[in-house]
């Protein structure tokens, strides 16, 4: 009221009782809590979903079949990946075994060469002993 009076240039507006203005302010007030006017419907949907009732979005049989096909395709891909990983592991184990075999062979050859060198050294020492 006061603002209207000032807007119109009424100097007597300040003399008007402010009871009406106070009442209006109290009734309008800020809305507290949920601001959405559909909150009861939303709550009902949430309760229905929480109770395990029908989902809010209905899937038809075709979507269900498509979902099963997608799941089976993903499972097949996972199985293929598992097979590839297993094959790679086998290859690595085989390569490791081959490296061990080569190292063992090299060690055997080294020992044989050392034994032959030792034998040759002994024979040379014996030959030298005989010549003395």
Asked, for residue 42, whether it belongs to a domain, the answer is no
Asked, for residue 100, whether it belongs to a domain, the answer is yes
Asked, for residue 36, whether it belongs to a domain, the answer is no
The vertex-66 CA angle with 63 and 69, nearest 5°, equals: 155
* pLDDT value for 119: 95
Asked, for residue 99, whether it belongs to a domain, the answer is yes
Domain that holds residue 70: 2-29+66-131
Q: How far is CA 127 from CA 69, 117, 120, in A?
A: 86, 15, 10
> Residue 37 in 3-state DSSP?
coil
Digit-by-digit pLDDT tens for the chain (132 residues) are 555 555 555 555 555 555 555 555 555 556 666 667 777 888 888 888 887 755 545 556 667 778 888 999 999 999 999 999 999 999 999 999 999 999 999 999 999 999 999 999 999 999 988 887
Asked, for residue 49, whether it belongs to a domain, the answer is no
Asked, for residue 94, whether it belongs to a domain, the answer is yes
Global pTM reads 0.40
The number of folded domains in the chain is 1
């Amino acid at each position: 009221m006061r603002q209207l009076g000032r807007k119109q240039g009424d100097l007597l507006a300040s003399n008007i009782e402010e009871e009406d203005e106070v009442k209006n302010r109290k009734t309008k007030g800020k809305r507290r809590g949920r601001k959405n006017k559909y909150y009861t419907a939303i709550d009902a949907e949430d309760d229905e979903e929480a109770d395990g009732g029908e989902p809010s979005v209905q899937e038809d049989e075709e979507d269900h079949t498509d979902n099963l096909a997608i799941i089976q395709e993903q499972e097949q891909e996972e199985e293929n990946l598992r097979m590839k990983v297993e094959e790679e592991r086998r290859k690595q184990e085989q390569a490791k075994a081959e490296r061990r075999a080569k190292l063992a062979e090299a060690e055997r050859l080294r020992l044989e060469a050392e034994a032959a060198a030792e034998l040759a050294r002994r024979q040379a020492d014996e030959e030298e002993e005989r010549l003395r």
